[in-house]
Structure 1
Amino acid sequence: MPEERVLSDSESIDDYYRSFLPTVTDTLEDSLVPTMVYSYGQVVSGFAARLTANHVSLMSEKIGFIKAYPDRLIPLHTTRTPSFLGLDIANGIWNVSNSGKDVIIGVLDTGAIPTHPSFKDDGMDPPPTTWKGTCEYASSSSCNNKIIGAKSFVQGSQAFKAHGKSAGKPLAPVDDEGHGTHTASTAAGNLVPNVDVLGQAKGDAVGVAPRAYLAIYKVCSREGCAHSDILAGLDAAVADGVHVLSLSLGGPPRAFYSDPIATGAFAAIQKGIVVSCAGGNNGPNAQTVSNDAPWILTVGASSLDRSIRSTVRLGDGTEIFGETLYQPKDFAADQLPLVVPQSEDGRYCLSGSLDNLDVQGKIVLCERGGGSGTIEKGAVANAAGAVGVIIMNDETNAYSTTADPNLIPASLIPYAGGQKVIAYAKSNPKPTAAIAFMGTLIGRSIQSPVIASFSSRGPSVTTPGILKPDIIGPGLNILAAWPFRLGVNYTVRGPTFNVISGTSMSTPHLSGVAALIKSAQPDWSPAMIKSAIMTTSDAVNRQGKPIADERLKPANLFATGAGHVNPSKAVDPGLVYDILPEDYIPYLCGLNYTDDDVTVIVHKKISCADYEKIAEGELNYPSFTASLSFSKVTFNRTVMNVGEGSSTYKVEVDAPVGVSVVVAPQTLSFRTLKEKMSFTVTFSLLKSTAEGSYVEGQLRWVSAKHTVRSPISVYLGSKSAPLT
C-alpha cells in the first residue's frame, strides 16, 4: 500500500485490497472468479486471494502493486525437560519470572484440545487488559484463563485439498492431528501430576512457562500449512497482543521477501514480540536449516538425560542398548529365533514383504527407512506372526534413537548395533536374540545433550554470514499432552500424553524460556531476549565434555548454534547485544535485495540508496561468522550492561585454528545499568593455515559474576563460503 494512502479502518483496507482484484468483465475467459481469502493488516500490506495467472498479470498493471507469490504448503516440522533445564519452583528463573506470569504465548500450529488437563487454569489470573483476542471454539466457554483465545486459519490448506476450489466451512481451532496440543503444552502447559506414556517416563508433566497464557492459532491441517494461512495467523496474533510467537513449522530456506514466516516475524519484532521457530528436521545434512532470518530465534533439537531403555541380547552374549515406549511386563526376555530378511523390501519390513518368510514366534530385524515408520514396521512384523522386532538405525541417524509407542515388543537400536546383529546372524546358522525391557533410566550416566540426527544444520543458504541455528533445546523423545489414546485406536479422542521428537518439540521449549525472560524483564526487546538466551547457553554437556552429534563425535557450530539453552542463566546475562528493527535495513540492502524486496519485509517504502549497506557479519549479532582469504575482516559490536551498575568485563578468546583474533578494547568498564559500550573484532589468516575448511572458536566477556559467550565460525580460503 502506498505510504501516502491513509485508510481509517479494516473495512476500507479490505475495499482497497479488493480494488486490485480483476472484475468479472476483465476475466470472462477465466474459469475461476477472483476471490479474496484473507486481508492482512498487521504483518504485511496485502491480501490472499484465489487467482489465475491472468488475474495476477492484470493486477500487476495497477498502481500500488509490488509483488505476488503463489501459495505453498509447508510441513509441520513434559515430565523431564523442566528438571533437565534446571527449572525449579523455589529457585532460579521460575521464581524470578513467577513462571511466566502475565506473558501471552501465541502458538501457530494444528490447534489444541482445550479440555486436556494440561490446559486447566488452576492458579491462573484473568487475561491482561491488553488482550484483544477472541475464542472461536464451538463454545466460547472452552477458553479459560490458560487458553485465553483460539482462532482458525486453514482456508489455504483446505483449498489445496479441494484443488483450488472453495474451501467450504471454516474449521474450528480444534487439534485433529496432535502436534499443536503437544507443542502448546510444552511451552506453557499447567502442572498435571503422575503422568506416563504406556507406563514409561513417569512423573509430573508441566510446561516451561506454566503461568503464561496460551493463544491458539490453527494454521495447519492434515494437508500441511499454507503460506496464506500462516500469514493470517501471524496477522491475528500480532493484532491480538501476544508477547511470544512459537512456530513449529517451516519449509525449505527461501529469500526473506518471499518467506511468509520471515516477513510476518519481522512485523512481530517491530511490535516487540519474540519469535521462536523450528530450524527444521532435515539433518544431519549441511545447509538444511530453515527459518533462518536473523530476527528469528532459530531452534535445533537435542536429547535429554533420559532413556526409555530396551536391550537386545544376542545369542553370543552381545548386548545392544535401544529404546521403545511399549514395554509389556508379560514379555519374557528369552532367546528366540532371529530372522534377518534379505530382500530389499524385507530389509525394511514393508507391507507384505514378510509374508513368505517363516517369522512365526520369532524376532525380526528391520532396517529404518524405506518409506515406512518404525511403528508400521512393527505392525507388518506382527501381522506376519513375529513376536518381536529389532529396528536398526540407518547410517545417517547413527546413535540417534527414538522411543516410539510400538505395537509389539521392540527395540530401536543404533546403526553400529544393527551391524553387530547382521554380522552375528551371518556367522551363526541358528541365530537367536532376546529383548529385555529396562524401563525409564534418568541421570548423568546418560550422555546428554546430544544433537538429534534429524536436527537441520547450517550454514544458512539464505544468509551464510549469520550463524544458524541460534540455539538447541530438548527435542528428542519429548513427553507432552496428546489428544488421542495411543495404540490401535490412535484416533479415538481421550486426553493422554505422548512422546514424540522433532525441532517442533525443541521450539516450544525456547518459546517458554523466552516467556520466562519476558516476564522477568518486560522492557527487553526481542533481540535482547535472544542475546540473553544465546550468550548464556552451554557449550558442553552434563559430563563437561563437548556436545556430541548423532555419531557421538563433537558437534560443530552448524549443529549447536551458540549452544544448549540454560534458562536459569538466561534471565541474568550481564551484557546483551541489541538490534533495533531499523538496524536490519542496511543488512537487507547488503544482501543485494531490491528496494521492493526490502519494502515487503519491513512494511514501509525503502530506497537502499538512502542507506549505507553493511555485510552480514556487521549486524550486532551475538555470534561471529567470517569468511577469510588474504585480507583482514573487522566487525563492530555494541553491548548493553544489564547486570550490575558498576562492573568490569575482560575479554577471553579461544581463536579458531589458523586464525588471529584481535579484540579492542580488551576491557569494558561500566558505571551504570543500560550503559552501552562498543568494541571491534578483527579476524586475519595466519601463514600456516590450510585453506578450504571451517574452523571454530569463541569469544567471552568475563566479569566477577557473568560470562557472556559468543561462538566464532570462520571459513578459510575464499571470499565467500561454498554452498555445496
Structure 2
Amino acid sequence: MTKGKGVEPPNDEDGHGTHTASTAAGRFVNYADVLGNAKGMPAGMAPLAHLAIYKVCFGEDCAESNILAALDAAIEEGVDVLSLSLGEEGVPFFQDSIAIGGFAAMKNGIFVSCSAGNSGPSNTTLSNEAPWLLTVGASTIDRKIIATAKLGNGEEFDGESIFQPNDFPSKLLQLVYAGMNGKQESALCGEGTLKGIDVKGKVVLCERGGGIARIAKGQEVKNAGGAAMILMNQETDGFSVSADIHVLPATHVSYAAGLKIKAYLNSTAAPTATILFRGTVLGDLSSPSVASFSSRGPSLASPGILKPDIIGPGVNILAAWPFPLENNINSKSTFNIMSGTSMSCPHLSGIAALLKSSHPTWSPAAIKSAMMTSTDLFNIGGKLIVDETLQPADVFATGAGHVNPSRADKPGLIYDIQPDDYIPYLCGSGYKDEEVGIIAHRSVKCSEKPSIPEGELNYPSFSIKLGPSQTYTRTVTNVGEANSAYEVQVWAPKGVDVIVKPSTLYFTELNQKATYSVTFTRVGSTYKTGEYTQGFIKWVSAKYSVRSPIAVMFE
C-alpha cells in the first residue's frame, strides 16, 4: 500500500497490531526485556509461520467495511489462520461483520480465532460469539514483576509494576489517601483532582476505575508532586492486577490489599509507606488464573453454545513493540508488556497454525475441537483454575479450560462440523431466511431443510436450558489409534441426571465416526429458574482423554 493524497499509511499507530502479530508468529529473539524486566528469548506461538497483516483500524475507528475487505483479501490470498483481536458486544450474527466474514473464511477452510472481549468479570459480556469462531478468554502466566507496598506497621503487600527504579529510597515516606477530602473523583486520581491536597513527597493511595487509565492516575500523582503511588483495585477486579510502565514509582495491588492499607491509614495519625522493587519472579503456583477483565458467558447471541470456548495467556504478555517505551525516551527496546484478550487471541491463533501444519486435512472445527477437548482445568500448583476472586472459575469464565498445545496435537477424538451444518443451526436459532443468507453468503430457505436446536450442533461442549428432560446427540471422529475403545465418565452438574448412550465407543479404523446421545434430566427442586450448574463428560481410552464441558440453566 502506498501513501497518496487522502490515503493513510499502513503504519501501526498504537502498537496493538505489532504486539498481537508477534505473539502469533514472531521469530525467536535473544536478550528481550522491558525496562530490564522479563528477560529472556521470546517467540511467537508459530515462529516459522508467515504473516500477512491487514490494517482495519485507524485510531478508534474500525470500520466494518475495512474488516470485511481485509477478510475478503485474506481469503483470496489463501491464509490458513485469521487472528482478530477486535469485536463488539451484543450483535446478532447477521449484523456482525466478524461473524459474516468469519463464516466466509471458515467455508474456505480458514481457522478464525477471536478475542472474547475485555468487559469482565460481569456475565453476558462476550464479543465474537458465533460457533464457527474460536472465542478466547484471557489468563495469567506464572511470571510476576513484583513491586511490594511496605507499610509503617511492617505489613507488606505484593503488587506489580514494570517501572522498577533502582534509586527509589527504601525509607518510609508519609502515606496519604487521595480521597481524604471525601471526594470520589479525588480517590480515583483523575486529572486535576489532587489540587488542594498535600501529596508533595508522599506515597499516594489511589483507587482503580472511573474510566481513568492506570498510568494516567500516576501522572496526576506526579503532577501534584507525589513521590510514589499505590494503586488499589476496585472490588470487581479482586486479585487481578497488571504490570504497567508507570511514570513514577508505583505498585498495583489487589482490592483486599487496598482495604488493609486503608485500615492502616485510619489506625494511626502518622501513616507511612514505601515501595520495594523486587523485579521479575517466576513460578506463580496460582497460574493460570482468569483475568478480571476477561469477558464472560453465557452467550446472549446464542445461549445454546457455550462461550467463551477456551482461555489462553493474556496478562502481562511480552511481545514486539514499534515505538520507544513510555517513561524511558532513551529505551531502544523493541518489546512491551500488555494485557487483554487481544493478547490471548493470537496465542491460540499461533497454536492453530501449528495444528494446521501438523494436521493439514483437518477442518477449522476439527482444530477447534482438538483444542477444546484437551484443555487443562488445574493450575501449576495442582488446584482448580481460579478467577479474580481466587475461587474456582466457572465455565462462563474458562470455557473448556486452558489451552494445552501438545495435548491438542493428539486429541484422540474430534467433533467435526461442515460449513453446511451451520445452516439448520441458524434456522433453528430463529434467524429469518434473509438473515441466514447474509451470514451464509447464499440464498437460504429454512423451510426446505429441517432446522435443529442450538444444542444439537455437533459442538465440543454443551450449553443447556433444561426443563424436565432433554436429549442431544454428538458425533465424534477417531483421529487417535485405529483399534480403540472409549468409555464415558460423567461429572453431572448438580441437580441434573446425565445419561450417555452408548457408554462405550468402539473404533476399528482411523477417521471412523461414532454417534452417542446425552440425556439431561432435572432431579430435585433445589435450583430456581435462571440458576446455572456445570459439569462435564469425558471419553477415555487407554491413551486419550476427550472432555466436553456442560453448562445447565434451569428453566
> Which TM class, normalised by the smaller chain length?
over 0.9
- Partner SS state of residue 377, structure 2: coil
Residue matched to 2:421: 583
Contact 1:484–1:493 (Cα < 8 Å) also in 2: no
**Residue 377 of structure 2 is aligned to residue 527 of structure 1:** no
Per-residue CA distance 1:234-279 (angstroms, 9 max, x = gap)? 0111111100000000111211111110010000010000000001
Of 237, 260, 269, which residue of structure 2 is paired with 1:397? 237
Residue matched to 1:649: 486
Of 274, 282, 305, which residue of structure 2 is paired with 1:442? 282
Q: Which amino acid aligns with 1:617?
A: G
Contact 2:285–2:379 (Cα < 8 Å) also in 1: no
Residue matched to 1:376: 216
Per-residue CA distance 1:359-387 (angstroms, 9 max, x = gap)? 12110011111232111111111121111
Residue matched to 2:272: 432
Q: 1:20-419 to 2 correspondence within 5 Å?
A: 136=1, 169-341=6-178, 342=180, 343-419=183-259
Cα deviation for residue 688 of structure 1 reads 4.5
- Partner SS state of residue 483, structure 1: coil
TM-score after normalising by structure 2: 0.97
Residue matched to 2:433: 595
Of 501, 516, 535, which residue of structure 1 is paired with 2:354? 516
- Partner SS state of residue 391, structure 1: strand
Residue matched to 1:470: 309
Residue matched to 2:344: 506
Q: Which amino acid aligns with 1:352?
A: G
- Supply the distance in 1 between the matched residues of 2:193 and 2:9 (Cα, whole angstroms): 41
- Supply the distance in 1 between the matched residues of 2:277 and 2:95 (Cα, whole angstroms): 49
Residue matched to 1:563: 401
- Supply the distance in 2 between the matched residues of 1:690 and 1:365 (Cα, whole angstroms): 43
- Supply the distance in 1 between the matched residues of 2:254 and 2:458 (Cα, whole angstroms): 41
Residue matched to 2:377: 539
Residue matched to 1:421: 261
Q: Which amino acid aligns with 2:201?
A: G
- Supply the distance in 2 between the matched residues of 1:622 and 1:187 (Cα, whole angstroms): 24
Residue matched to 1:691: 528
> Structure 1 residues 489, 311: CA separation in 2 closer, same or farther (over 3 Å shift)?
closer
- Supply the distance in 1 between the matched residues of 2:399 and 2:57 (Cα, whole angstroms): 28
- Supply the distance in 1 between the matched residues of 2:223 and 2:524 (Cα, whole angstroms): 65
Q: Which amino acid aligns with 2:421?
A: D
Cα deviation for residue 488 of structure 1 reads 4.1
Residue matched to 1:456: 295
Contact 1:470–1:561 (Cα < 8 Å) also in 2: yes
Q: Would you say how many aligned residue pairs link Structure 1 and Structure 2?
A: 551
Q: Which amino acid aligns with 1:501?
A: S
Per-residue CA distance 1:97-143 (angstroms, 9 max, x = gap)? xxxxxxxxxxxxxxxxxxxxxxxxxxxxxxxxxxxxxxx367xxxxx
- Supply the distance in 1 between the matched residues of 2:303 and 2:202 (Cα, whole angstroms): 51
Q: Which amino acid aligns with 2:88?
A: G
Q: What stretches of structure 2 of length at least 5 have no aligned partner?
A: none
Cα deviation for residue 355 of structure 1 reads 2.6
Could you tell which deviates more after superposition, 167-176 or 301-310? 167-176
Contact 2:245–2:327 (Cα < 8 Å) also in 1: no
Contact 1:635–1:681 (Cα < 8 Å) also in 2: yes
Could you tell which deviates more after superposition, 215-224 or 340-349? 340-349
Q: Which amino acid aligns with 2:482?
A: G
- Supply the distance in 1 between the matched residues of 2:449 and 2:417 (Cα, whole angstroms): 16
**Residue 473 of structure 2 is aligned to residue 636 of structure 1:** yes
Q: Which amino acid aligns with 1:256?
A: F
- Partner SS state of residue 20, structure 2: helix
- Supply the distance in 2 between the matched residues of 1:414 and 1:540 (Cα, whole angstroms): 22
Higher Cα radius of gyration: 1
TM-score after normalising by structure 1: 0.75
- Supply the distance in 2 between the matched residues of 1:345 and 1:616 (Cα, whole angstroms): 46
Contact 1:541–1:547 (Cα < 8 Å) also in 2: yes
Answer 1 or 2: higher relative contact order, Cα 8 Å, separation at least 6.
2
Contact 2:466–2:522 (Cα < 8 Å) also in 1: yes
Considering only aligned residues, what root-mean-square deviation do their CA atoms show, in Å?
Answer: 1.4
Cα deviation for residue 606 of structure 1 reads 0.6
- Supply the distance in 1 between the matched residues of 2:216 and 2:336 (Cα, whole angstroms): 17
Q: Which amino acid aligns with 2:288?
A: P
Cα deviation for residue 332 of structure 1 reads 1.9
Q: Which amino acid aligns with 1:575?
A: L
Residue matched to 1:159: none
> Structure 1 residues 305, 488: CA separation in 2 closer, same or farther (over 3 Å shift)?
closer
- Supply the distance in 2 between the matched residues of 1:422 and 1:326 (Cα, whole angstroms): 24
Contact 2:319–2:335 (Cα < 8 Å) also in 1: yes
- Supply the distance in 1 between the matched residues of 2:31 and 2:327 (Cα, whole angstroms): 24
Residue matched to 2:323: 484
Contact 1:483–1:495 (Cα < 8 Å) also in 2: no
- Partner SS state of residue 372, structure 1: coil
Cα deviation for residue 408 of structure 1 reads 0.7
Per-residue CA distance 1:205-244 (angstroms, 9 max, x = gap)? 2100000110010001113311111001101111111000
Q: Which amino acid aligns with 2:299?
A: S
- Partner SS state of residue 682, structure 1: strand
